[in-house]
Amino acid sequence: MDHFSKEQRTRIMAAIRSNGTRPEILVRHYLWRQGFRYRVNLGRLPGHPDIVLRKYRTCIFVNGCFWHGHDCGAFRLPKTRVDFWRSKIERNKQRDKEVQQRLATMGWHCITVWECQLKKPMRDQTLKDLAFTLNHLYLRDHAVGYRRLEEEWGGSMAAEPDRGE
């Protein structure tokens, strides 16, 4: 049984924001301080990712554990209208999977940051891991092979000792 009237419950549910949430702002502020530049809720991409880093060809989704059915201690299925909530959350999970597959086929990397990973004890490590992952993706995607560089240059690199050729 719901403790609120239908009108009160409607007001409560309508007040829940889909973007500009506290976890999303935490991630955005961290990325900005680390020198990452991004766009927010880019509508031209499937699923309207929360954060889009074009230079890194990466979309970041900051998901709430309840709305996206994360398998963690923060997620609990409501005791009322169980069938409705179960199907809604399953639809959300399926949609998330489809959106990320579409983005991957377009050449985008997708990263999901969960709300529970941004709680105090894990926040710093989660954000550091995010920055590391972004840098790793950039280097992997933009790497110029050493041998190819050597062939184009025709000699050894400036910081390398001569190999006696």
Domain boundary assignment for the chain: 16-152
Q: Rounded mean pLDDT of 95-118?
A: 96
pLDDT for the residue numbered 30: 98
Most confident of 2-6, 79-83, 119-123: 119-123
pLDDT confidence of 42, banded at 50, 70, 90? confident
Closest CA to 65 of 81, 76, 80, 54: 76
pLDDT for the residue numbered 18: 63
Q: pLDDT tens for residues 12-41?
A: 666 666 667 899 999 999 999 999 999 998
What is the rounded distance in angstroms from the CA atom of residue 146 to the CA atom of residue 103?
A: 30
Q: Which of 72-86, 101-115, 137-151 has the lowest mean pLDDT?
A: 137-151
Q: Residue 157 pLDDT > 60, yes or no?
A: no
pLDDT for the residue numbered 60: 97
Which is higher by pLDDT, 128 or 9?
A: 128
What is the CATH architecture assignment of 16-152? 3-Layer(aba) Sandwich (3.40)
Reading phi first (left if > 0) and then psi (alpha if -120 to 50, else beta), residue 48 is in left
pLDDT for the residue numbered 138: 92
Q: pLDDT tens for residues 60-95?
A: 999 999 989 999 987 888 888 899 999 999 999 999
